[in-house]
Amino acid sequence: MSVLESMHYSSFSLMKLLKTDIGHIQQSIALIASNAAAVLPAYWALRQKAFAEWVLFTSSGISSGLYHACDVGTWCALSFSVLQFMDFWLSFMAVVSTFVYLTTIGEAYKRTIQIVVAILTALMAITKATRSSNIIIVMSIGALGLLIGWLIEFSTHFRSFSFSSEFCLNVPARWQTIRGWFNNLLKTLWRRFRWGFVLAGFTALAMAAISWKLESSESYWIWHSLWHVTIYSSSFFFLCSKVDTVNSENQRSPDGNYALTRQDSFARGE
C-alpha cells in the first residue's frame, strides 16, 4: 500500500469514526433530554397540590434520564440493574397512577389501589421489564384501577338507592327511577372531565403504545425518545382533563332532594 493510499484510508476511517461518534452523541442526547417531558405532568400535579403524583412524575423523569445516561455509557450514578428497575417501575407507576388520579375516591381506597399497583408493577419491572406486552398490561391495570375507583365512588354516592317492595311492584316508577339514575350518572361523567383533553390524552397514549411496539435495535433511540415524550404528554393531558365537581354536586343535591320531597308531598296531598 502506497503512502497516498494509506493516508486516504486513514482519512476515511477517521471520518467514519467521527460520524459514528456524532451519531452516538445525538442518540444519547435524544434519549436523555426527552425525559424533560416529565416536567409537564409534574408541574400540573404540583399546581393541583397532588404531591404524591408530583413526586412520582419527577422521580420517573430523573430515574429515566439517569438510566439512559448509564445505558449509552455517559455516566452511571448507580448500578445498571438498579437504574433499569427504577426506570421501568416508576414509568409503569406513572401510567397507572394517572388513571387512579382521575377518580375522586377517598384516600384510604386510593392508597390501597396504589399499593396493589406498586406490587404488581414492581414484579413486572424486576422480571421481564423490556417485553413488548408490558405496555398493554400496564394500561389494563390502569383502566382496571380507574374502573374500580369509579365503582367505589358511585356505589358510595348512590348507596341510598334502595329497592323497596313497592318499588319492585311499580314497574313504571321503577323504570323511571332507573332511567333518572342513569341520566344522572351520564351527566356526572360529562361534567367530570374536559373531554378535549381526554381525547388528546388517548391520542398521545396510542402514540406511546405504537412507539413502544416499534422499538428495535436499529431505531431504538428514535422510538424510545418518542415514547418518553408521548407517555408524559398523555399523563399531562389526562391530569388536565379532570374537573373537580364534588362541591358543585353537593351544593345541588339538597335542592334536588327538596324538590323531590316537595313533589312527593303534593302528590300525597292530592
Q: How far apart are CA 62 and CA 54, in angstroms?
A: 12
- Domain coordinates in residue numbering, the chain: 31-241
Quote the pLDDT of residue 254: 47
pLDDT band for 237, please (50, 70, 90 cuts).
Answer: very high
CB-based contact 120:261 (threshold 8 Å): no
Tens of pLDDT, residue by residue over 16-25, are 444 456 667 8
Model's pTM, two decimal places?
Answer: 0.74
In the predicted structure, residue 111 carries a pLDDT above the cut 70: yes
Summary count for the chain: helices (H), strands (E): 11, 0
If one compares 127 and 34, the residue with the highest pLDDT of the two is: 34
In the predicted structure, residue 113 carries a pLDDT above the cut 80: yes
Q: Contacts from 118-123 at CB under 8 Å and sequence distance 24+?
A: 118/93, 121/89, 121/92, 121/93, 121/96, 122/89
Tens of pLDDT, residue by residue over 28-54, are 899 999 999 999 999 999 999 889 999
Q: How far apart are CA 32 and CA 87, in angstroms?
A: 12
Q: Which fold has domain 31-241?
A: Rhopdopsin 7-helix transmembrane proteins (1.20.1070)
Quote the pLDDT of residue 233: 95
Q: Report the pLDDT averaged over residues 139-143.
A: 89
pLDDT band for 263, please (50, 70, 90 cuts).
Answer: very low
- The letter for the amino acid at 153 is E
Quote the pLDDT of residue 174: 62
Q: What's the start-to-end Cα distance of the chain, in Å?
A: 115
Write down the mean pLDDT value for the chain: 78
